[in-house]
Amino acid sequence: MPDTLRLLMMSVNLSGYGASNGFLGFFEKDTRYEPDMEESAVDFFMRYFRNDLESFVIASSVHANSDEVGHYGDAADDQRDSDLIQGLVQSGLARQFSYKKRFGRDPSSQKYTESVEKEWSDISLIKGDDFSSVCIRSLLVAKMVVYGLYGHCFIISPDWNLAFYPHDDFGFGVIGLGDNANVKVAHDFLAEADQLPGMHSIIRMPSKS
């Protein structure tokens, strides 16, 4: 597990995943947003890797800012967000706290910025089989849609040296970890995602470091 985290931190550009040397592509919506698009994307991921999920590892610094969750302004979305976060906090897959209480009330200060960056980069590894597929699904959906949820979230296959990540355009990206990433698995996944209604994939070869 520590080796997996070290490999992730060496391989992924946390400031911009697409700038990582091992970036292999992503899929996203290519039409107007339709209700449940995020759930369709997550269900595709869960279904595609249903036989492998138990061997996957979650690398996460996901946390919710309680000053924001439930305050987006749309009653239905706010209720959904609050329910998702409550479930994730209870399961141990996310933390929740007030940014104002922890970091102060001046977002423009250097101390505030440094504290937030430290919280984002505090990535820990969690064994996928320690949680139900329902909990993992909720985490992935929440990462795409919840207002006030922050941090990094990767679903890693140590066998294939691949890191998958959910993003807020309702899809997943893939980054190869190190020199032995299984590029074919990543590209097959993205090619299949390209067939989903309302989705399209961008497929890349890893850059030479």
Span 123-131, average pLDDT: 91
Q: Is residue 2 over pLDDT 70?
A: no
| 177-187: pLDDT as tens digits | 999 999 999 99
pLDDT band at 162 (very low <50, low <70, confident <90, very high): very high
Going by their DSSP bridges, the two strands 63-65 and 95-97 should be labelled as parallel
Overall pTM surpassing 0.85 (yes/no): yes
What's the pLDDT score for residue 128?
Answer: 86
* CA quadruple 140, 144, 145, 149: dihedral sign: positive
Mean per-residue pLDDT of the chain: 94
Non-local (6+) Cβ contacts of 89 within 8 A are 64, 95, 96
| 31-82: pLDDT as tens digits | 888 888 999 999 999 999 999 998 999 999 999 999 999 999 999 999 999 9
Q: Which residue pairs, CB below 8 angstroms and at least 24 apart, start in 202-209?
A: 202/25, 202/26, 202/27, 203/24, 203/25, 204/23, 204/24, 204/25, 205/24, 206/21, 206/22, 206/23, 206/24, 206/176, 206/181, 207/21, 207/23, 208/21, 209/21
Span 12-21, average pLDDT: 96
What's the pLDDT score for residue 174?
Answer: 98
